[in-house]
């Protein structure tokens, strides 16, 4: 029987305010890896700068754009490098131009 357990490390984050969640994410190893990947691609003149781009790998089927608690939220299918199976990604924006 196949093992469907994700190879991506699982992290628990605090519930409550988005500020508390963002503070917890600041020290998260997975997020730090994505920040490093985004910085590595920063000089690529062919990488889109206006549209949202997945920090590490392919972005597939962006959907679920919604405005909630004063911020825009975008959900998309993601394929992390260590596990080629589909996962879900989430990005947040205050202005639909700058995403985190």
What are the catalytic residues? 61
30, 9 in Cβ contact below 8 A? yes
| Structure tokens, 95 | 């202005």
d(CA 60, CA 78): 6
- Is the sign of the CA dihedral 50, 56, 57, 62 positive or negative? negative
d(CA 34, CA 5): 22
d(CA 74, CA 21): 17
């Amino acid at each position: 029987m196949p093992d469907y357990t994700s190879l991506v490390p699982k992290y628990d984050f605090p519930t409550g305010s988005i500020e508390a969640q963002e503070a917890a994410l600041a020290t998260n190893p997975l997020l730090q890896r994505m920040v490093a990947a985004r910085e590595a691609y920063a000089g690529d003149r062919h990488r889109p700068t206006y549209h949202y781009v997945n920090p590490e790998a392919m972005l597939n089927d962006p959907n679920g754009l919604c405005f909630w608690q004063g911020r825009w939220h975008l959900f998309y299918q993601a394929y992390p490098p260590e596990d080629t199976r589909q996962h879900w990604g989430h990005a947040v924006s205050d202005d639909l131009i700058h995403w985190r």
